[in-house]
Amino acid sequence: MRVPDGYRVNDRYARDMACPVCGAMLIKMDVPLRVVSRKGPIASDDREVESWEDDGFKSRSVSRGWLHVATLSCPRCGRPFSPAQAKRREFRDSELPSDFLLRDVPDSPEYRALMFSKILDNLKRSAKARAEDARNPARTMPAPAVQDELPLGDARQVDARAATIPRKPVAENN
């Protein structure tokens, strides 16, 4: 696959590794999942975990299990995999995830100042909108303090029941 100018490949994806179950491109996990299997190795890249037992006269190595480290996960089915479990696959351009190619961000002081000013303008705009809502309470819709039980049924029954529902008196502030 040729990467166009101004773009870069997202480091999050394992390029030529696919899920053996559903065939989706695998994602590299931030924190690897470690599992110790006592029955046997899960994949071909598992390592045997040994410990030494010592009774004072002689020591011996005892197998405690097999350490399986999953560093990849499938975004579609959510299963973790190790690189040995992943299926090798060449993906077509139409099969790539939408965020596989990322635009290069220029790292210059001018660009950072521009992005900071855009964030600042956005914060000022949202603060101004919140201040207008506080000055004009008619624009906001406050939730009622007490909600009466809503009668169920068709419209005629609702109107008939609404007239018979006792209303709670509203305490006036003096």
Mean of the per-residue pLDDT values of the chain: 78
- Run of H or E residues at 157: helix 155-164
Whether this prediction's pTM lies above 0.85 is answered by no
At residue 136 the predicted structure's pLDDT band, cuts being 50, 70 and 90, is low
What's the confidence (pLDDT) of residue 133?
Answer: 64
Nearest Cα to Cα of residue 79 among 10, 16, 18: 18
Contact 151, 158 (CB under 8 A): yes
Question: Nearest 10 degrees: CA dihedral of 135, 136, 140, 141?
Answer: 120
Task: Indicate if the pLDDT at residue 86 is higher than 90.
Answer: yes
Question: What is residue 22's three-state secondary structure?
Answer: coil
Task: Indicate if the pLDDT at residue 109 is higher than 90.
Answer: no
**d(C-alpha 50, C-alpha 67), whole Å:** 10
For 17, counting Cβ atoms within 10 Å of its Cβ (0-12 exposed, 13-18 middle, 19+ buried), the class is buried
What's the confidence (pLDDT) of residue 134?
Answer: 63
